[in-house]
A = this chain, B = another copy of it.
Amino acid sequence: MTTQTATQTPTSVSFLGLGAMGYPMAGHLVKAFDSVMVWNRKFDKANQHESEFGSKAVDFETAVSADVIFSCVPTSAQTAELIERAKPYLKKGSVWVDCTSGVPESAIAAANTLQELGSHFIDAPVSGQTIGAINGTLTVMVGGDKSALDFAYPAIDCFAGRIEHVGASGGGFAVKAINNTLFAVNSWALGEGLSVLKAHGVNPSAALACINHSSGQSFASSATFPDRIVNRSFPKTFTLDLMAKDCGIATDLQQQAKLPAPVMAAVASFMRAASNQVEAGSADFSEFIKFLENWSQVIISDEMTTPKN
């Protein structure tokens, strides 16, 4: 067990998990910190990061002894493994910032674990996609102790356009899951609405041009549908499988709170069913529309085509 203690302002920061999001996020840290350590399970990525950004690729033990430790991995289960392995090496007073899109319950458990060790855990999932990570303009939704956030703030600020402290541990994960579920609902309903309009002779782009200047507007209508669906490009950035997972987290939150939420629950079911039908592991989220198109036999494109089935 380390006997070192973090100073009042962090001097060393590290980043675990250099994926599509983590890699550019970690790159921004060098703007504000002299000592930026990076680690990745496949270590080549860490070396590449060092070359590209001037960070330092280090072993796991060294990385987790930083003042601020970031993690950004696919699931809360993987974060939990990292924490378990890091326990002996954590510096007292350090703050672990988990940017994973994780499970609220896991955040609470991790916060308790780290508190017993004299460290802190905050859940800090991000939105803004790869482009936001590259530009350093991500929105960060933080759950957990306010003073821990204050300590890590200068580090998070490197890649953030906006940092929002939303509540106690798990709050950040909760907001992220609900946000994604609302995105799913807005997208699904838009798919229904454009189907009905196309069946009545209105093409999707003309309808979107109106909706995007009206009360029905959403990120789904102004970005997802024109950029991914109507043009049938379906770029692979966020998998349908992960979307179904996030909707599932929202349903769990609803269950725990014993609250009614029939519309979120219905769309969670449809996303689950869609991800069971299309190649969910690789399909982009936007390909949910193919599931709906199979129902309606109406294709959401501007051509008057018939579905391939």
Contact = CB atoms under 8 A, between A and B. Distances in A.
Interface of A: 104, 127-129, 139, 141, 143, 161-162, 164-168, 170-171, 174-176, 178-183, 185-186, 188-190, 192-197, 199-203, 206-207, 209-211, 213-221, 224, 244, 248, 250-270, 272-273, 276-277, 294-298
A185 B166 CA distance: 25
Do most interface residues of chain A lie in helix, strand or loop, or is the interface mixed?
Answer: helix
5 closest pairs, A vs B, by CB?
A182-B216, A273-B295, A127-B214, A218-B218, A260-B269
| Identical subunits present | 4
Contacts of A261: 192-193, 195-196, 269
A242 to B, nearest CB: 12
A291 to B, nearest CB: 9
A129 B200 CA distance: 26
A213 B161 contact: yes
Contacts of A183: 214-216
Given A183-B216, A217-B219, A265-B268, 9 more contacts: A139-B214, A162-B210, A167-B202, A178-B207, A185-B189, A195-B257, A200-B256, A262-B262, A265-B269
